[in-house]
Amino acid sequence: MLYLQGRIGAENRFRMNVLTENIASALVNHRLQRSLREQTIRDPLTSLFNRRYMEETLKLEIARSSRAGTPLSLVMCDIDHFKRFNDEFGHDAGDSVLQMVAAEMRSRFRDGDVICRFGGEEFTIIAPGTTAEALAGRVETVRRAIAELAVRHGNRTLGSTSMSFGIATWSDAMDRDGATLIQAADMALYQSKRDGRNRATISMLAA
């Protein structure tokens, strides 16, 4: 908002018009730049952060955790039997499942947790300041909530779904780029799959 007090003389009105147009142009450019940045860091389907943003953020959080001596944990998770939604109901229905699951995770994790779509039906959550054991309770709440979802697409009921989770905590023995931490959480995720799905497993490397 541009606020002026007093009367503007005729000789200054042209300058004032130029000034307001410059301000308006700057605001439009700023809004456009912000919009473009959102497009580069967000997944367009789910509005979650994308994999590129996750990888950059994970490196920063590892550096912070290392300096401050605070814990940092990571969750890898994916939707169980996701392929059946695409096969039975089509890809639009699969997209609806992804959007519903993403919305549920956004509402259940903390504001400080960074929720990302890793790719396909797989998601990653960066959780600063918490251990895998402490995070497990939050993950269990999310797991139960997703298992209770009534998945719909348009007027059709698609049935229920579930998710499997792997949780790991970063340690000084791990790589600083986050690759080892991702691998540890991913291995725990696949253990959940082997154990029957719809469950969470804490990585042995988190101890």
Q: Exposed, middle or buried: residue 95 (CB in 10 Å: 0-12, 13-18, 19+)? A: middle
User: Tokens representing 15?
Assistant: 């300058």
- Residue 23 in tokens: 């301000």
C-alpha to C-alpha distances, 181 to 27, 84, 118, 177, nearest whole angstrom: 41, 30, 14, 9
Identify the residue whose tokens are 């908002």. 1
Q: Catalogue the active-site residues.
A: 121
Supply 46's token pair.
């789910």
The alpha carbons of the chain give a radius of gyration, in whole angstroms, of 23
Residue 130 CA to residue 101 CA, distance in Å, equals 23
Q: Which two structure tokens, joined as six digits, stand for 77?
A: 């998770």
